[in-house]
Structure 1
Amino acid sequence: MIDKKIITEIVENEIADTDLFLVELSVSAGNAIYIAIDSLQGVPIITCIELSRAIEKHFDREIEDFELQVTSAGIGQPFQVLKQYHKFLNKDVEVLTTEGLKFIGKLITVGDEEIEIEVEEKIKVEGKKKKQLVVKSYTFKFDQIKSTKDIITF
């Protein structure tokens, strides 16, 4: 089986002088290698192809056969690394807490241990017939978050 640490080193070396970052890397028992990358500007398919070719150069299929898939991090998929939070700063996200509560709002702060989002909520104001739109801020520590996803708006 191909060692995951070796693949990780190769990927990190290949993307070292770029704005790319590693989101996910797995190697199955059958040597199926899956790599997901991202950047603050997104990842064109040609970048995935170039990285795939660069990785393949380090291995000989005659010695050990493998399958290699290099992709960009998926839209609407849960964030897996801190840099993905930075990528979506000031954009809409969906946060699902470990308690099962869902919040949709603008990601306004990303720290090392927590994030903050602003959520628009309609609340009943005493003495008024219509609900009033207010913006509330919510802070979540990473251990309180089950998943965070980007929200695509058209």
Structure 2
Amino acid sequence: MSTLAQKAETYLKQAITENPQLFVVSLDVTNANHIKVVIDGDQDVSISDCMAVSRAIEHELDRDEEDFAVEVTSFGVGEKLMFPRQFIKNVGRKLDVETDKEKIKADLVSATSQAIRLTWKAREPKPVGKGKHTVDKEVELAYADIKQAKVMITFNK
């Protein structure tokens, strides 16, 4: 890790400590000294949150030592959820979840630091006779069993 990357990481940690509802999704420092930070929060992330984190990094680095650029963005809609805090934040929303065995579009009804619980309705063959009927499904998934999960965007009329 470059010296610039180490400094950026240190100052980023300090900035996040000052606002504990925020957390770092990613930090990337390119060879061209472009520092890109993606943050998320337990509630919504505002532009002022991004600006505060950017300033906290930028004001501590010395442009006389090396040229750099800092970009701080919030976690985007439709991005893959990566951390338990992101799942906890999205309880009550519909997720598109992929495991090794299946793809599930379901409601996220609970999330802990260990696992999530999903519920959904599925059409399955009737146990007796022809045709299908709707059944309620529920599953608890450990984070290790989730290949990817995204919040589904819905538009209400």
Give TM-score, length-normalised by structure 2.
0.85
Deviation at 1:10, TM superposition (A): 1.5
State the AA in 2 paired with 1:115: I
Structure 2 distance, partners of 1:5, 1:33, is 11
Q: Give secondary structure in 2 for the equivalent of 1:16.
A: helix
Structure 2 distance, partners of 1:139, 1:121, is 16
State the AA in 2 paired with 1:76: G
Contact 2:79–2:150 at 8 Å: present in 1 too?
yes
Structure 2 distance, partners of 1:5, 1:83, is 25
Deviation at 1:3, TM superposition (A): 4.1
Structure 1 distance, partners of 2:78, 2:4, is 30
**CA separation of 1:17 and 1:67: change in aligned 2, threshold 3 A:** closer
Structure 2 distance, partners of 1:83, 1:8, is 20
What does residue 150 of structure 1 align with?
A: 151
Give TM-score, length-normalised by structure 1.
0.86
Give the count of matched residue pairs. Answer: 153
Structure 1 distance, partners of 2:131, 2:14, is 58
* CA RMSD after TM alignment: 2.0
State the AA in 1 paired with 2:84: L
Contact 1:22–1:37 at 8 Å: present in 2 too?
yes
Identity score, percent: 30
- Residue of 50, 66, 84 corresponding to 2:86: 84
- Say yes or no: does 1:53 pair with 2:55: yes
What does residue 105 of structure 1 align with?
A: 106
**CA separation of 1:150 and 1:95: change in aligned 2, threshold 3 A:** same
- Residue of 28, 36, 39 corresponding to 2:38: 36
What does residue 70 of structure 1 align with?
A: 72
Instruction: Using the TM superposition, name which of 56-65 and 137-146 deviates more.
Output: 137-146
Contact 2:4–2:33 at 8 Å: present in 1 too?
no
What does residue 94 of structure 1 align with?
A: 96
